[in-house]
Structure 1
Amino acid sequence: MPPHRMTDAAAPTADRTPLATAVVLEAVQRIEAAGLLDDQAALQQAFRTRPTRAAQVAERGWLLGQRLGLPAELARWRHLGWWVVAALAVAMAFTGLGTARAVLGEGRSINAVAAFVSLLGLHAVMLAVWLLGLLFTQGRWAGPSLGRLALWLTARLPLDRGPHALTMLQAVTAVLQRQRLLAWLTGALSHGIWTLAFLIMLAVLAFGFAFHAYTLTWETTILSATFFQRFVHVTGALPALLGFPVPDAAAVQTVGNAGVRAWVDATSQREWAWWLMGCVVVYGLLPRLGLMVLSLLRWRAGARRLGAVDMADLYVRRIVARLDALEPPPQVIDPEHRATDLDQPTPSSAPPGAPGSLAVVGFELPPEMAWPIDGLPTGTLPPERIAGSARERQAVTTRLAQARPESLLLVVHATASPDRGTARFVREAAAQAGRTALLLAGEGGAALPEAAVQRWRAWLDAEGFEALAPVESAQAAMDWAASSHD
């Protein structure tokens, strides 16, 4: 299989936001489905510059993405996307206005009710489709919308388009669907397009009504005057609350009886014009503006979750295995080849520290997790936190060997996946203490997922850590630390 061609992008690249990182990593994974890229330099650089496996996987993906021009493709989308949004807004505005002109009667006579439907009908249908899609798919997909069309056009327009533009589009869709953010991003784009379209509509209507004499009437063959009176009364209720004039029943009756060619006083016509523009504002502009703001708020809140690497993914695990291979030669052999007790933690012959001495070490905790964790027992040694690099592990192990604490509490992230690097550090650290416990820390004190607990317990059994005490809460860790005095 021929290797993928990589070129250094000369175009400006996108900022490394959580969204950009997640999309580039997903796109690289999709590209590598057809064959692994030459990544030795990127793998080595990621291993040297990032502290945790998750950060190293993300760094490798970003470096490969830069060589493929993926961040530059995202930057192109950002600059071209605004023009696409503006073009769609103009198209939708003049589609509605063109349909409204189709209901013009002789001269400058306009069927007011038909104009109302023409200006707001397509908007109402598409809004209903978006809301139904949001309701029935929990944000994974919100049906066809102008937002999805804008993304599709931005990716496919030939202006400086890179060879992986469609792969990037698939990556964006996949990432946002997993995080249930696709509906909010496309919704923000779609509602923004409609908001701009209604502003253009109102500007054109205001200009037309200000400098041309139109006669707004209603015509019918089978409907009664009562129907139009009720229609104007119901649709004008909300615009009236904002101060828009609304024709009363007499005005509706007069216009209907007058016919298209009849003279109607200017005051009545002004009321009809303001009623039509008020309906566009209340039933078109304001709902789209409100939904655009809501979509942006939901998008920004959800975007904080982007950028996290799924360490359980098979593709990621293969990369982690290659990163593990860059570690210095381990002190122990694999569990299936383990002989007798050679690989078990062997306590030093030096005497342990003072009775009751306790060391607390956090290992590969997420950057956003506060340290020390609330409720942890107070150690006799300053609490330490390491990201997992070989240098950090060696430094902590050396300090533990010097202090020889009676008890050692290792704190790990419950939802993380333990690997050979974790096993190596646990063995090295546990060998320097009289007894060791492993605390599974969750997010903000929330209950730990049962699957995560079972994964860690199975890992402890597989690695032969029967002597380690697994604890699942800060209170359990306190009880374990206090038990050394019993």
Structure 2
Amino acid sequence: MLSPQDQLTELVRTLETQQHVFTTDPLLITEKLQGEDGKPIQKLHRRASRIDSNGALAQVLGKIDGRTKGIMVIMSVVWCISGFLGLFTLLQTNVVNFFYVLVCLLGFHTIMLAGWLIMTLINQGKQSSNWFASFVSPSYLIRGKDDVTLAAVNLYERQLQHSGMRWYLGRFSHQLWLATLTGMLLAIVFLLIVRQYSFSWESTLLADQTLIGLTNMLGWLPSMVGFSVPDSTAVIESRLAADAMSLSAARQWAGLLIGSLLMYGIVPRALA
């Protein structure tokens, strides 16, 4: 997206081509700027700001921008709540299958993140989809048939067609995923504080030593930042575990669950 000052400058240029009558005469502003110092782009910005002396153009642009950001905030809150409620529903039993819950937390998220990376490499330089531009058209956010409003809406729609818009849309997608994962993290921390859980794992084909190695591999990154990782005793104890699991073993699994969500979910999304 263009910066607010660039948007104002482009809006003034567009309105000039449409013979719009401004509050301040553009010719007088241009004559005064000829004797001033500054780079050409700085003079263009200054010219646009002075032509919009009453701030009417900037107000229309600000209204569209504010409503767009408001929708993003509302959607992020909804996604965060949905993540919280989804995990809250998942962890209603006292005995939790650790690897099943971990796949529910990070499985689809990891696939989508990998898909985004692949599509980013494939679609370099290509324009964003036209259907998305029509779906998020600013004409839905602001009413008005005057030439200023129509020109401002057209300006935003042209930006949606720009090849760089996919980075802006990608950032919004990551923001929603991050909100969902944050909601899940809040649910995990809340439930681990108010409830006592036992963690288990089940497998017909995998032996104890295989799961010990898998757990150590999974816990390498979380352990680097201080999260606990179940030792071999805790892993063996957790096979088909019942409610009688020791508190120390349960805390080790809980630490690995929180650490995995942070290091393999939230941190990669925040970096993306």
TM-score when normalising by structure 2: 0.70
| Amino acid corresponding to residue 288 of structure 1 in structure 2 | R
Q: For residues 101 and 141 of structure 1, do their structure 2 counterparts lie closer, same or farther at Cα, with a shift above 3 Å needed?
A: farther
Determine the structure 1 residue equivalent to 2:270.
Answer: 289
- Aligned mates of 2:156, 2:143 — CA distance in 1: 12
**Which of the numbers 95, 119, 122 marks the counterpart of 1:136?**
122
| Amino acid corresponding to residue 239 of structure 1 in structure 2 | P
Q: Is 1:252 matched up with 2:235?
A: yes
**Which of the numbers 237, 252, 255 marks the counterpart of 1:271?**
252
Q: Is 1:23 matched up with 2:23?
A: no
Q: For residues 199 and 219 of structure 1, do their structure 2 counterparts lie closer, same or farther at Cα, with a shift above 3 Å needed?
A: same
SS in 2 for 1:216: strand
> How far does residue 60 in structure 1 lie from its aligned partner after superposition?
7.0
- Aligned mates of 2:159, 2:262 — CA distance in 1: 34
Determine the structure 1 residue equivalent to 2:76.
Answer: 89
- Aligned mates of 2:107, 2:128 — CA distance in 1: 19
| Amino acid corresponding to residue 121 of structure 1 in structure 2 | G
Q: Percent identity?
A: 23
Equivalences, count: 258
> How far does residue 49 in structure 1 lie from its aligned partner after superposition?
3.1
Larger RCO, structure (CA 8 Å, separation 6 or more): 2
Question: Residue deviations 1:380-408, cap 9 Å, x none?
Answer: xxxxxxxxxxxxxxxxxxxxxxxxxxxxx
Structure index of larger Rg: 1
| Amino acid corresponding to residue 248 of structure 2 in structure 1 | T
Residue segments in structure 1 that go unaligned for 5+ positions in a row: 1-17, 292-486
> How far does residue 211 in structure 1 lie from its aligned partner after superposition?
0.9
Question: Residue deviations 1:47-77, cap 9 Å, x none?
Answer: 3233298777767766787899542233234
Question: Residue deviations 1:228-247, cap 9 Å, x none?
Answer: 44443322110011121112
> How far does residue 199 in structure 1 lie from its aligned partner after superposition?
3.9
Determine the structure 2 residue equivalent to 1:118.
Answer: 104
Determine the structure 1 residue equivalent to 2:196.
Answer: 213
| Amino acid corresponding to residue 245 of structure 1 in structure 2 | S
| Amino acid corresponding to residue 76 of structure 2 in structure 1 | A
- Aligned mates of 1:82, 1:139 — CA distance in 2: 26
- Aligned mates of 2:40, 2:240 — CA distance in 1: 79
> How far does residue 190 in structure 1 lie from its aligned partner after superposition?
4.4
Determine the structure 1 residue equivalent to 2:19.
Answer: 37
Tell me, yes or no, if the aligned pair for 1:47 and 1:56 is still in contact at 8 Å.
no
SS in 1 for 2:239: helix
Alignment RMSD: 4.2
> How far does residue 156 in structure 1 lie from its aligned partner after superposition?
6.3
> How far does residue 274 in structure 1 lie from its aligned partner after superposition?
0.9
- Aligned mates of 1:142, 1:236 — CA distance in 2: 38
Residues 149-160 of structure 1 mapped to structure 2, 5 A cutoff:
152=136, 155=138, 158=141
- Aligned mates of 1:122, 1:142 — CA distance in 2: 24
> How far does residue 108 in structure 1 lie from its aligned partner after superposition?
2.9
Tell me, yes or no, if the aligned pair for 2:83 and 2:181 is still in contact at 8 Å.
no
Determine the structure 2 residue equivalent to 1:318.
Answer: none
SS in 2 for 1:127: helix
| Amino acid corresponding to residue 109 of structure 2 in structure 1 | H
Q: For residues 29 and 170 of structure 1, do their structure 2 counterparts lie closer, same or farther at Cα, with a shift above 3 Å needed?
A: farther
| Amino acid corresponding to residue 201 of structure 1 in structure 2 | M
Determine the structure 2 residue equivalent to 1:314.
Answer: none
Tell me, yes or no, if the aligned pair for 2:98 and 2:199 is still in contact at 8 Å.
yes
Going by fraction, where is helix more abundant, 1 or 2? 2
Determine the structure 2 residue equivalent to 1:74.
Answer: 61
Q: For residues 251 and 127 of structure 1, do their structure 2 counterparts lie closer, same or farther at Cα, with a shift above 3 Å needed?
A: same
- Aligned mates of 1:169, 1:83 — CA distance in 2: 16
Q: For residues 100 and 114 of structure 1, do their structure 2 counterparts lie closer, same or farther at Cα, with a shift above 3 Å needed?
A: farther
SS in 2 for 1:236: helix
Q: For residues 141 and 198 of structure 1, do their structure 2 counterparts lie closer, same or farther at Cα, with a shift above 3 Å needed?
A: farther
Residues 309-328 of structure 1 mapped to structure 2, 5 A cutoff:
none
Residues 5-404 of structure 1 mapped to structure 2, 5 A cutoff:
19-27=3-11, 36-39=18-21, 42-51=25-34, 69-101=56-88, 103-104=90-91, 107-138=93-124, 152=136, 155=138, 158=141, 163-164=149-150, 166-174=153-161, 177=163, 180=164, 182-219=165-202, 223-225=205-207, 228-258=211-241, 261-291=242-272
Tell me, yes or no, if the aligned pair for 2:182 and 2:266 is still in contact at 8 Å.
yes
Q: For residues 88 and 129 of structure 1, do their structure 2 counterparts lie closer, same or farther at Cα, with a shift above 3 Å needed?
A: farther
Residue segments in structure 2 that go unaligned for 5+ positions in a row: none
Q: For residues 257 and 57 of structure 1, do their structure 2 counterparts lie closer, same or farther at Cα, with a shift above 3 Å needed?
A: closer
SS in 1 for 2:259: helix
Q: For residues 225 and 113 of structure 1, do their structure 2 counterparts lie closer, same or farther at Cα, with a shift above 3 Å needed?
A: same
- Aligned mates of 1:224, 1:26 — CA distance in 2: 63
| Amino acid corresponding to residue 104 of structure 2 in structure 1 | S
> How far does residue 99 in structure 1 lie from its aligned partner after superposition?
4.1
Tell me, yes or no, if the aligned pair for 1:96 and 1:119 is still in contact at 8 Å.
no
SS in 1 for 2:240: helix
SS in 1 for 2:253: helix
